[in-house]
Amino acid sequence: MKNFCLLFFLLMVNFSFAQIQKNDSLSLIKAHNNSTKDRNEKSQNEVLEEIQNKNTTTKVTALSPTKAGLYSAVLPGLGQYYNKKYWKIPIVWGGVGTGVGIAMWNQKQYNRYREAFVASVNGLPHEFSNNPVYTKEVLGNIQDKAKRQRDYAIAIAGLIYILNIVDAVVDAHLYEGRHDPDLVLKPAVMYDEYGGQSMKTGLSLSYNF
């Protein structure tokens, strides 16, 4: 009788232990499935988010062409500063400044020889009276040349001034297009399959739509 009770007790303990192991195994399987499901859902969400980020157009602060043109009209180079094209400012200043400087120098020369020419025509002494080379004809030709060069310098300075305004307006208008990720213009290496050279450098224009 004692042996039978002992055997029955051992069987009950073994059965209970097997049930516990089974429940633990089921819990581990469920936990593994839940973690795998969460990981898969997370990865899918990340993939969708990446796709949306790539398809979303990059927001670029647009510049006003009107403001850029007005700034350049008030002060040459200010429109380029507004467009963040700082390297163009010295070019604009150099062009306009050189033209104005040459015009002022030729105006001074014109006034100088004009006074001598008028005095020579009226028979009065002038700056070049002691030099027989400077006759009325020579003084007249020199004053005309100085006037012509002055007018050319003014025209060139005015042209640079106008180009400075046009450049600022166009640059501001194209600012957003240059920062469009779907429109890319960049240096590239091109391979020539039919020519003698293995590769060439050039520009690559890529447009995605």
Whether residue 37 sits in one domain with residue 134: no
Whether residue 52 sits in one domain with residue 71: no
What's the domain range around 88? 65-180
Whether residue 70 sits in one domain with residue 52: no
The predicted-structure confidence for 31-44, as pLDDT tens digits, reads as follows 555 555 555 455 66
- Dist CA 161 CA 102 (whole Å): 15
- Listing DSSP states for 84-151 in one string gives T-GGGHHHHHHHHHHHHHHHHHHHHHHHHHHHHHHHHHTT---TTTT-TT--HHHHHHHHHHHHHHHH
> Quick check: is 93 in a domain?
yes
> Quick check: is 116 in a domain?
yes
State the pTM of this model.
0.57
Looking at residue 125, its pLDDT comes to: 87
Contact 83, 164 (CB under 8 A): no
Whether residue 175 sits in one domain with residue 112: yes
Whether residue 71 sits in one domain with residue 143: yes
The predicted-structure confidence for 176-207, as pLDDT tens digits, reads as follows 655 455 544 455 556 555 655 555 555 555 54
Per-residue pLDDT, averaged over 101-122, amounts to: 92
